[in-house]
Amino acid sequence: MAEASDAPKPPPYRNADTTPFIYFDFAPTFGVMAGAIQVELAARTLIPSDSGGASAEIVSTAHLRCSPIAARNLLEALTKALELAEQPQANLSAGSATLN
């Protein structure tokens, strides 16, 4: 039987100050090219008009490209995050995070 310390450890993680935060409302298109997974992310934004109102516009927020293995890893992370989001939260001001 394998000990808990025998489990593979993830590679060291280093955060970069320049890493962008990507917000999106939906993923309108996806595909595969030369084995790479492609997902386009988009968001609804409001554009002010000359009349003082605003009109909604859909804008691209990111072009996601990755290997099938990375896509499965992202899918697993999103599934686990959704499971966390479904749990009752006692303190709404504190976030919940897990490092894989």
For residue 63, count CB atoms less than 10 angstroms from its CB and return exposed for 0-12, middle for 13-18, buried for 19 or more.
exposed
Per-residue confidence (pLDDT) for residue 3, from 0 to 100: 60
pTM as predicted: 0.70
Map out the domains of the chain as residue ranges.
22-84
List pLDDT tens digits, range 42-87: 999 999 988 999 999 999 999 999 999 999 999 999 999 999 999 9
Q: How confident is the model at residue 88 (pLDDT cuts 50, 70, 90)?
A: confident
Confidence label for 1 from pLDDT (cuts 50, 70 and 90) = low
> At 68, phi and psi to the nearest 5?
-55, -35
